[in-house]
Amino acid sequence: MPHLSAHHQSHAPTPLLEFLKSALCYVLVLSVAYTCFMVNRGNPSNLFWDENYHVTSAERYLEGIAHFEPHPPLGLMLIAAGEAWSGTNKDLDKQVLAATKQISGDAMPQGFDYMGMRLMPSVFAVLGALAFYGLMYQLFQRRVHALLLSGLYLFENAFTVHFRAVHLDSFQMCFSIAFLWHFVALWQRATPLRAWHYSTLASLVALAIMVKVNAVVLLVLFPVLYFKDSKTHDTTSLLNKLKDFTSKSGAAITAILLVFFTVFYIHATLTPQLPNAHSSAGKQDLSNMSAAYRAYLEEHQPLTPRMVITIAHDYYKFMDKDHLGVPKLDTKKIGENGSHPLHWPFHDRNINYRWDSADGKTAYVQLVGNQLAWYSGTLAVIFCIATILNHRVMSIPLRCTPRTYHLIELFTGLYVAFMGLHLWLITQRVMYLYHYFLGLMISYVLLALVWQYLSELYDSFARRRTLILTGVMSLYLASYLFFLPFSNHTPLTKAECERRNISISHIVDCR
């Protein structure tokens, strides 16, 4: 084997240089994400959409009042932590928030500052951007390409408007992307995985579920990972295979249960006070408490593991009861904001969260996606499904590398599982466009994989792929900026507003 010359050796990258390059990329993503999600989070200085529920939930944590909510506790506790750490409203009397499950903007304490309540959702939106860059780098191993592809997350208008509000989605998205990043890293390993790899992965998916339950769809990737992992073992002994499966599945299940237990332990520790029986929220919570939970609160007993399980059980029963009380989708109802999952990829029924008019202009808070990127993601899903059918059904030989094709299969399968879950959920309750966020992110991963597929398919594309990617991401950025006034509550004249009603789906009723 020939030796490298001294000249070539001197130009070999050093670990320090590699670290500095990686650090620079993360700083660049962090800077853009901070601008997208942290700046302007106080605007509008009014409630919109589900904020009128979540600010009351967070306040009950701050006041230590035991309660139940329609969603698991983790995201709501994080919102409360942001309000506590910021101290923006420490001198206000906020008891009115804890007394109800839902509050109108007119009933909010005068002078209430939303920066604190919106702090942690914005922080996790930024962390999600860093995780998305990590996922892109894990997939393609090129920093410049990962940086450019990070724009799919950073320049998504729907994420901008929703993630920096008092909503739960940025927490779930951050944990979900971190899970996919870690999953891909494990899936790419050529050596057998250890039990702790599965427990770490399971902990991430458990955190996502503890924000919003529909993250359970990510669990479908565990058997996929184990199937690939099992092929790296030399043993043919059935007993050894059984031991391996038991230890790894046991590690994953144990990790999930430990995360669930820990979240509810913290929930119980933060809320040791009996609800006020004279408030509407207190009446609702007391009516759903078991006798054991109520006795624990009244007698101020130590928090035992058995009581944590009791509290978690009561909480789950409340969530199930609340879920059954949610109305179903009614497309014939005037002003229906809900939409069907099959319409989500085509951006059906975006939502006007809030509008404020003054001096001949109107400022909107509109759930509108980056139209160019959104439809590109939908086309990527269609392309990937067609590619899989061509290979698996039509037996057409692969023209890309097996690695890229298997990743396309993997993420397409996850997307199909996501849609399947929500096609069932829509039969149970009304759902909205933002319920597609996890599916949208998966479609963006597929879009990146299609770009890699084309690079492997066509030499001319491969030679220019960085230039092509730069041009495409520039177009996505232009689309993002074009619709940004709807994300930033920026005043527009009616003519300026109407100019943005140019996409396939109707964007907004201009006022």
pLDDT digits (tens, 9 = 90+) for 231-289: 877 666 888 888 989 999 999 999 999 999 999 999 999 999 999 999 999 999 999 99
- With 60 as the cut, is the pLDDT of residue 5 above it? no
pLDDT digits (tens, 9 = 90+) for 73-127: 999 999 999 999 998 898 898 889 999 999 988 899 999 999 999 999 999 999 9
Question: Which residue would you say has higher pLDDT here, 5 or 83?
Answer: 83
CA angle 436, 439, 445 (to 5 degrees): 145
- With 50 as the cut, is the pLDDT of residue 6 above it? no
CB atoms within 10 A of CB 177: 25
User: What phi-psi label fits residue 351: left (phi over 0), alpha (psi between -120 and 50 degrees) or beta?
Assistant: beta
Helix (H) or strand (E) segment spanning residue 292: helix 291-299
d(CA 84, CA 88): 8
> Mean pLDDT, to the nearest integer, of 326-344?
85
d(CA 492, CA 371): 19
- 354 DSSP β-pair partners: 365
pLDDT, position 485:
94
> Mean pLDDT, to the nearest integer, of 217-233?
91
pLDDT, position 335:
78
Question: Which residue would you say has higher pLDDT here, 255 or 301?
Answer: 255
pLDDT, position 337:
87
Q: Which residues contact 74 (CB under 8 A, 6 or more apart)?
A: 171, 207, 210, 211, 263
Residue type, 246: T
Give the HSE-up count for residue 377: Cα atoms under 13 Å, Cβ half-sphere: 27
Torsion, Cα 225 252 441 414, to 10 degrees, reads: 40
Q: Could you tell me if 253 and 202 are in contact, meaning their C-beta atoms sit under 8 angstroms apart?
A: yes
pLDDT digits (tens, 9 = 90+) for 158-205: 999 999 999 999 999 999 999 999 999 999 998 999 999 999 999 999
- pTM, two decimal places: 0.94
pLDDT, position 105:
86
> Mean pLDDT, to the nearest integer, of 304-333?
89
pLDDT, position 91:
86
Q: How many helices (H) and strands (E) does the chain have?
A: 22, 3
| Cis peptide upstream of residue 44 (ω within 30 degrees of 0) | yes
pLDDT digits (tens, 9 = 90+) for 427-484: 989 999 999 999 999 999 999 999 999 999 999 999 999 999 999 999 999 999 999 9
pLDDT, position 12:
64
DSSP string for 386-422: HHHHHHHTS-PPP-S-HHHHHHHHHHHHHHHHHHHHH
d(CA 486, CA 48): 14
pLDDT, position 349:
85
pLDDT digits (tens, 9 = 90+) for 11-47: 667 888 888 888 999 999 999 999 999 998 989 989 9
pLDDT, position 1:
42
